[in-house]
A and B are shown apart, each in its own frame.
Chain A
């Protein structure tokens, strides 16, 4: 409702009397607006390619990439790679994100736990993927374990940091209220800290999923014989740039899709929030 109103303020001024039907079509207008830039880029790109301005090995045209996408889908190759990649990302995310959530809750609830584990975790947090990947491979070999663990390592920290932060940012005055109303310890956690931390939990969730995708690429490029990351790496080796593009696009589309799903869930669960939704700038 609110979003529609701010939007209509931008472009519906001259046609105010038409009201409702205008509002609905405004959604369409907005979608079209957001497509304007990418579509223009695609057209220019395709045009330049057809005029021979681009090196087809380095930058194949959109049409070629689309054809590659269709071929890879037809042969079932793309789906097989996608399936194994999604599985790794999901496992890694569940493991890392789950542990991050648990650790964040524990450290958030307990001051002692914070002193005990937070400094060490903050130190580990700064280790880059590429630096620890060889170690994981040494320890766990090239099989699934090292990949899933690498993804989990990435997914752990955003979830941990934001869960911790969320719990610590719950309004202190509400703790006084909870005390006066004689909340039990369990109620304090489930009825005050968790809902109070929810906005941060969602932020952590989204970041964590994002990092899981990144970890996946690193893991699959380090050494693998399957997955989208492998597909990209293999195509690079043989200079089949169109396949590289298809891989990148699949990653982007999947990342966006999962993020949108979480955002949708977030919007439903944080309906109570009263925050700035952006203005007409």
Chain B
């Protein structure tokens, strides 16, 4: 158990623009230990996706240092599982083949692990369904299973439930917690939903825009599963919310969740 499984140190990212450079990230420091579930919350345009892309290896034009398990990140790889807002499944493959993707389902170990993951993401009975037959939440679970099959060192989720309705989103949050507890995968989840950040995160990273930076990191010391209606949850929620109000007006989706 390394204290610095994922280490982001002094990261700056600037997008040159004719009307003046956009500082998408300024001096970002973040340490995530193995097996941790960290949520990142902040308003639109504060650099959340940029940060996740850098960790995923999809953006390498940054200043600073990013280490995963001691090794610098140089490009995308199966070490870093990435889940986007849309599931990005292969429409011509069934659920099980989408999860296997470029790994042969004929191989007994792949077959067995795919079956386990289908069970884990609660898609039993849909192995042979095509993406067009799935709901948004189901498709997103397929994408998660596809990433998990590669045993990633870290799972990066960029507003994964943002396109789902409130009830599906709440269900997906529970499924994700379940996966995390059973699998122990290190996870970094970006959201703009305050409830989601507090419900899932062991730590909540609060970011602010112009320039994109981390304004505080809150440890949420509540046992899982958390109850949204409990007073301790509401208290944590209030604390995180107050972090935004220090900076500027109404910037996050502080709606009551569901």
Contacts and interface: CB of A to CB of B under 8 A. Distances in A.
Contacts of A21: none
Interface in A230-281: 271-274
A53 interface: no
A181 B150 contact: yes
Interface in B14-45: none
Interface in A103-135: none
B150 A272 contact: no
A244 B131 CA distance: 51
A183 interface: yes
Contacts of A173: 84, 86, 88
A43 interface: no
Contacts of B76: 176, 179-180, 182
Contact of A183 (B82, B86, B91, B102): B102
B80 A274 contact: no
Contacts of B82: 180
Contacts of A98: none
Nearest to A191: B102
Interface in B104-135: 130-132
A195 B90 contact: yes
A182 B90 contact: no
Contacts of A95: none
Contact of B101 (A191, A198, A271, A273): A191
Contacts of B81: 180
A271 B88 contact: no
A179 B93 CA distance: 17
A272 B130 contact: yes
Q: Which of B84, B92, B150 has the most CB of A within 10 A?
A: B92
B166 interface: no
Given A174-B88, A174-B90, A187-B102, A181 B132 contact: no
Contact of B91 (A180, A182, A273): A273
Contacts of B91: 272-274
Contacts of B102: 178, 181-184, 187, 191
A180 B132 contact: no
B78 A180 contact: yes
B101 A180 contact: no
A180 B76 CA distance: 5
A198 B56 CA distance: 31
A196 B150 CA distance: 23
Contacts of B78: 180-182
Interface in A176-218: 176-184, 187, 191-192, 195-196, 198
B105 to A, nearest CB: 12
Given A272-B132, A274-B132, A181 B92 contact: no
Interface string B117-157: 00000000000001110000000000000100010000000
Interface bracket on A: 20 to 34
B239 to A, nearest CB: 35
Interface in B62-100: 76-78, 80-82, 84, 86, 88, 90-93
Contacts of B254: none
B115 to A, nearest CB: 19
A273 B130 CA distance: 9
A10 to B, nearest CB: 24
Given A180-B80, A181-B78, A271 B130 contact: yes
Contacts of A181: 78, 101-102, 146, 150
B89 to A, nearest CB: 8
Interface string A162-180: 0000000000011011111
Nearest to A180: B76
B155 to A, nearest CB: 12
A195 B131 CA distance: 15
Nearest to B82: A180
B222 interface: no
B248 to A, nearest CB: 33
16 contacts: A173-B86, A173-B88, A176-B58, A177-B90, A178-B102, A180-B77, A180-B82, A181-B146, A182-B102, A191-B102, A195-B93, A272-B91, A272-B93, A272-B131, A272-B132, A274-B91
Interface of A: 173-174, 176-184, 187, 191-192, 195-196, 198, 271-274
Interface of B: 56, 58, 76-78, 80-82, 84, 86, 88, 90-93, 101-102, 130-132, 146, 150
Given A174-B90, A183-B101, A195-B93, 20 more contacts: A173-B84, A176-B76, A176-B88, A177-B90, A178-B102, A180-B56, A180-B58, A180-B77, A180-B81, A180-B82, A181-B101, A182-B78, A191-B102, A195-B90, A198-B92, A271-B130, A272-B92, A272-B132, A274-B91, A274-B130
Closest 6 CB pairs of A and B: A274-B132, A195-B92, A272-B92, A272-B130, A180-B76, A187-B102
